Structure 1
Amino acid sequence: MGLFKKNPFGHKLFLKRWLIRILGALTHRRYRGFNELQIEGSEIIKNLPDSNVLFVSNHQTYFADVTAMFHVFNASLSGRVDSIKNIGYLWKPKLNIYFVAAKETMKAGLLPRIMAYAGSVSIERTWRSKGENVNRQVKMSDVNNIGKALNDGWLITFPQGTTTPFKPIRRGTAHIIKQHKPIVIPIVIDGFRRSFDKKGLRLKKKGILQSFIIKEPLKIDYENDSIDDIVTQLEYAIEQHESFRKVIPLEALKEMEELNKMREWEY
């Protein structure tokens, strides 16, 4: 690989590799040390093709969620199963991992701009801007960039487009799936909202048990499933369908209360 080789977005891979190494080293203890990241299903990662893979996940913070994914994916590719122990996996990171993020978020400060270089596919949100509800057309350049990322490698997206739980799935994700026919891997995370501030930059609590569950690829009929069918499948896959908000039995509540005592320790 040449020193000045670039990815399809014009980013120098040599620089991107070092950014991932440095950011990974700086953030590792946030998931293994200050808190404990409990991973399930990472053996799935090892067997995925090099490109046209779409990861869909619920969303709890702006940056901590996707940073954890970079750790888990690279650790899994280096042979670690459900573990990010020993950050040697950062020495040769997968360089064609991308994540969808709001353009205004990735321009809000130096650190977001650095993270954007490390893998952001920045798009202009059609439904919200600067804290206000808007209604504008999808930019074709954004659509093309998403396709470019899938053609080159793996793409992470948070189809609700917000860190607020149980918000509707954005239909744009279903359109992407229909058009590009990627392998779709659901991920369900928890504990990040308790661990970090909303941006995912500041450590809020220590001793939190963070969960990171990677599920089997979705079985999607790309030709015959409707957009609504795919949206519903995504809602269930990332556990954000309304049915997940039903009343929890008393026994389960007691179990959750005991688990929360194990998870949380305020300092």
Structure 2
Amino acid sequence: MPLLKRNPFGHYLFLKKWLIRVFGVISHGRYRKFNNLQIEGSEVLRNLPDKNVLFISNHQTYFADVAAMFHVFNAALKGREDNIKNIGYIWNPKLNIYFVAAGETMRAGLLPKIFAYAGSVSIDRTWRADGKDVNRQVKNSDISNIGKALKDGWVITFPQGTTTPFKPIRRGTAHIIKTFKPVVVPIVIDGFRRSFDKKGLNIKKRNVLQSMVIKEPLQIDYENEEIAEIVTKIEFAIEQHPSFLKVLSPKEVEEYFAEEEELNKQRTFWNS
């Protein structure tokens, strides 16, 4: 690989590789030492094509979810079976992994800007900006950039566009699926909200059982399925359909959010 080779977004691959290596080493203990990440479905990752793969997932923190996926993806491709032991897999990471994120999040400080260089496809949210509800048109350049990333490799997206559970799926994800016809792989995560603060930079509780389940690709009729049908299919695939709430009693829901509020008061810096 030429030293100054760039990806389609103009990022130097040599620099991106070193960013992934460094942050991979720093973050590894968050899933192996401070907490315990349980993985299912590594074999699914090894059977995927190198390009035009869209991962859809529920969302619990800004950055910890994506960082864990970078670990799991690279470990699986290096032959690890549902584990991220022996961090040597990060030395030669897959460099064509991208993640869709809100532009305002990725511009909010030096650290997010560095994370963005490692693989962000930044978009302007159409429903939220600067902490306020908005209603604006999708930018064609945002759609084009997601398509560019899919053409080059794997893309991670969070169809709800928020870390709040059971929020509606944004129809834009379904439009992306119909437009670019990627292989769509659902991922369901849990435990990250209990482990980390909202940004995913600070540990608020240790010894939490985290989980990541990679499911088989969805069967989608790209030509004939309606947007609403794909949205419903996504809701069930990432276990965010309202019907999943029925397994919790009102008291359990109240206790859950009370625990979340209490744990937020007890957060500690993640590498302390």
Which bin holds the TM-score, normalised by the shorter protein?
over 0.9
SS in 2 for 1:62: coil
SS in 1 for 2:118: helix
Alignment correspondent of 1:73: 73
SS in 1 for 2:32: coil
Sequence identity percentage: 73
Alignment correspondent of 2:53: 53
Report deviation, 1:74: 0.2
Query: Match of 1:103, as an amino acid?
Result: G
Q: Output one character per residue of 1:11-52: Cα deviation in whole Å (capped at 9) or x when no partner.
A: 000000000000000000000010000000111001110000
Q: TM-score, normalised by structure 1?
A: 0.93
Q: How does 1:1-267 map to 2 (within 5 A)?
A: 1-248=1-248
Query: Between Structure 1 and Structure 2, how many residues are aligned?
Result: 255
Query: Match of 2:221, as an amino acid?
Result: D
Query: Match of 2:15, as an amino acid?
Result: L
1:42 and 1:175 map into 2 onto residues whose CA distance is 28
Query: Match of 1:231, as an amino acid?
Result: V
Query: Match of 2:238, as an amino acid?
Result: I
Report deviation, 1:247: 3.9
Q: Output one character per residue of 1:108-159: Cα deviation in whole Å (capped at 9) or x when no partner.
A: 1111000000000000001000100000111111110000000000000000
SS in 1 for 2:202: coil
2:151 and 2:65 map into 1 onto residues whose CA distance is 23
- Structure 1 segments, 4+ long, off by >6 Å, are none
Question: Gapped runs of 5+ residues in structure 2?
Answer: none
RMSD between aligned residues: 1.6
2:116 and 2:139 map into 1 onto residues whose CA distance is 19
2:34 and 2:247 map into 1 onto residues whose CA distance is 33
Q: TM-score, normalised by structure 2?
A: 0.91
2:32 and 2:94 map into 1 onto residues whose CA distance is 21
Report deviation, 1:208: 0.3
Q: Output one character per residue of 1:195-234: Cα deviation in whole Å (capped at 9) or x when no partner.
A: 0000000011110000100000000000110000000000
1:144 and 1:225 map into 2 onto residues whose CA distance is 22
2:174 and 2:213 map into 1 onto residues whose CA distance is 21
Report deviation, 1:248: 4.5
Query: Match of 1:77, as an amino acid?
Result: L
2:123 and 2:248 map into 1 onto residues whose CA distance is 37
